[in-house]
Structure 1
């Protein structure tokens, strides 16, 4: 019989908050973390705004030793270590002794690009024939698994420690990978999450694709407009989210606080066939992913009362709503409450799923559904499918019972996880 899996720890490093309290308050109050970035103006970007965590010296001094900080400029690792260690501490878990790893605990922490700025520095030094000046941390800051390796150096986990990478699906996929590890009895606890680097070398490619909004440089907090008729593209973001997943038996044995239960989920791909492509989702695959997530979780379509969608503020938002309607067989007033957090934090790329899962889970604790900002002018194709009352503009008092969270990524990859009130 599969082990029941619960969430016992949360941590976040987001554009609008770098602690659970700050982040939770910002989400509840509809506060945006999207800001004008002078560097992007200097580099002549069309979109000169982004969501970037405001990491201070106090944050760095609290989470890193002076030795760890030496030459550390991989922003994804900084964000991931802050979120990951905060989640571990939030769960009330000890750090393994210097002599022996914690065999029952592991890490699945994803990334898209990692150490981009460090890699650029390395290229310049090598081209200038100064390879010896690279320093001892260049490898760990630029290797794909640098974030999970860095976190494990802090925590000392002896179970599976790995990094996954599936574009915007990465964070949600990491949670499901950790869930499977515990449900099958191969671990008692797993730190799951994802991070994304920030800066022009990460966001430049999207600006070149002209899929970012260019008319909101003077009003950044209005730029990200999920489900809106005036949506003009996603706003790039960055940061990290982290969750501690634990077997229910282990959590109860140590009297841990439980945020919610993970019922299950599904991961699939549209194969870039049909209407799917490198940048567009295959609707049939999205619907299958949702259907399988419901089936794997042992619930009915009608049990879902809340959805946190992917909903990036692009032309695909209406299609995503249509896919939810088809997969659940629900529409109009029968549709669950639905929200998107990208209006407040932007699209945090490989960190999107994990940061958004942290926010979604805080709704259980706050007995609230966070509002959708910047969609006063709902897209007409969405209103045709879903009653406007199901898309709250502001935070509403409503304790979710069963929440579905989806992520869809470049490469036509999908993930959906189901959380239940505990």
Structure 2
């Protein structure tokens, strides 16, 4: 007998909201988190806008001790710990430094790169021969698993603790890995999510690839334009999303608030064949991933009411919509409603999947669809596949039950998960 898996806690650090309440309000009102950054202009970036969460020193002190913050310079780990602790508290648990080890709870928290600013700082010190002044936390702040190491220690978690990394699909993949762990009775609870650093040393490579927009430096909120005919590349973002997954039996036993149920999903790779490359998806594999997710969730494609897409505001948006229509065998007016959280926060890279999973669950719980900003000029190739009515430009209140969320990443990797509204 496999366990049913539900979501009992949410945490988010996004460019347009640094807690669930603020983020929910931003989703409902269509508030953008994209702004201009002078340092990017000074460094001759083509794209000088981006999404960076607003974290004050006072907020940091609510999660970290003065000792922990001494020499701390890793934004991704900071974001991940705040989101993870918020999700843990939202699920009804406390953070106690002297607590017993919780062997029933594990953690899978992903990232792309970790502590880039800290690593740069260390390089300069080493080049100056100051190896003894690197500090005792430089390794923790720059190793890939730094976020899971910090967060699991702050919460005293004793089940599996690990960090995954699969480019833009990292967060959705982490959720599905945690789901399988609970489904197979290897843990009662899993904190899952992902995070991403911000700044020029993370974003510079993408600017060099010319995949980020350069046309909206004077109008930042107009820059992120998924599915738009005038889309000219993605806007970089950063932050973290976290979810507490729990067996239904455990959640019911302790009277927890249940946001939604995870029905199932799928993870795969296109093998960089049939059009797939290091930076482009294999369409056949994407369709396989969506179909397998639906089959594993034990629902029919026609039951999907809403899709939260990957949709980055690049030339691949049309291909993604085409893949959805083929995988679901639904097009035109029969296609589900679809939106892109990236129109509000930009592309948060390794954090994208987790932030967008949080956004998906919020929309399902609150029964609304967040708007697609800047999509008034829907791409004509997309309009030939689905109707404009399925791509809401304003917040839409809707009674719906099942939402599909997918993420696709560099390396030709894919992840898709299905969430269901939980009814007592």
Q: TM-score interval w.r.t. the shorter chain?
A: over 0.9
Q: Is the 8 A contact 2:286 2:323 kept in 1?
A: yes
Corresponding position of 1:167: 167
Whole-angstrom distance in 2 between the partners of 1:101 and 1:62: 22
Corresponding position of 2:56: 56
Provide Cα deviations, 1:204-254, integer angstroms capped at 9, x if missing partner. 000001111111110000000000000000001000000000000000000
Q: CA deviation at 1:58?
A: 1.9
Q: CA deviation at 1:65?
A: 0.9
Tell me, what secondary structure is at the counterpart of 1:290? helix
Corresponding position of 1:348: 348
Whole-angstrom distance in 2 between the partners of 1:298 and 1:271: 26
Whole-angstrom distance in 2 between the partners of 1:365 and 1:30: 17
Q: Is 1:42–2:67 an aligned residue pair?
A: no
* Length, aligned pairs only: 422
Q: Is the 8 A contact 1:96 1:157 kept in 2?
A: no
Q: CA deviation at 1:371?
A: 1.0
Provide Cα deviations, 1:107-156, integer angstroms capped at 9, x if missing partner. 00000000000001111111111000100110100001000000011100
Whole-angstrom distance in 2 between the partners of 1:357 and 1:327: 20
Whole-angstrom distance in 2 between the partners of 1:6 and 1:121: 41
Tell me, what secondary structure is at the counterpart of 1:352? helix
Q: How does 1:219-230 map to 2 (within 5 A)?
A: 219-230=219-230
Q: CA deviation at 1:59?
A: 1.3
Q: Is 1:109–2:122 an aligned residue pair?
A: no
Q: How does 1:397-408 map to 2 (within 5 A)?
A: 397-408=397-408
Q: Is 1:266–2:270 an aligned residue pair?
A: no
Q: How does 1:5-404 map to 2 (within 5 A)?
A: 5-95=5-95, 98=98, 100-404=100-404
Q: Is the 8 A contact 2:63 2:82 kept in 1?
A: yes
Q: CA deviation at 1:366?
A: 1.7
Q: Is the 8 A contact 2:106 2:189 kept in 1?
A: yes
Q: Is the 8 A contact 1:96 1:102 kept in 2?
A: no
Q: Is the 8 A contact 1:308 1:360 kept in 2?
A: yes
Tell me, what secondary structure is at the counterpart of 1:63? coil
Q: Is the 8 A contact 1:363 1:400 kept in 2?
A: no
Q: Is the 8 A contact 1:369 1:399 kept in 2?
A: no
CA 386–126 in structure 1, closer or farther in 2 if over 3 Å, else same: same
Q: Is the 8 A contact 1:369 1:400 kept in 2?
A: no
- Stretches of structure 2 that go unaligned for 5 or more consecutive residues are none
Whole-angstrom distance in 2 between the partners of 1:281 and 1:404: 19
Tell me, what secondary structure is at the counterpart of 2:62? helix
Q: Is the 8 A contact 1:318 1:382 kept in 2?
A: yes
Whole-angstrom distance in 2 between the partners of 1:100 and 1:64: 20
- Stretches of structure 1 that go unaligned for 5 or more consecutive residues are none
Quick check: 50-59 or 245-254, which moved more? 50-59
CA 97–127 in structure 1, closer or farther in 2 if over 3 Å, else same: closer
Whole-angstrom distance in 1 between the partners of 2:301 and 2:245: 25
Tell me, what secondary structure is at the counterpart of 1:10? strand
Whole-angstrom distance in 2 between the partners of 1:366 and 1:260: 11
* Structure 1 segments (4+ residues) deviating >6 Å: none
Whole-angstrom distance in 2 between the partners of 1:40 and 1:353: 25
Tell me, what secondary structure is at the counterpart of 2:61? helix
Q: Is the 8 A contact 2:99 2:156 kept in 1?
A: no
Q: Is the 8 A contact 2:97 2:154 kept in 1?
A: no
Whole-angstrom distance in 2 between the partners of 1:138 and 1:4: 40
Q: Is the 8 A contact 1:363 1:399 kept in 2?
A: no
TM-score, length-normalised on structure 1?
0.99
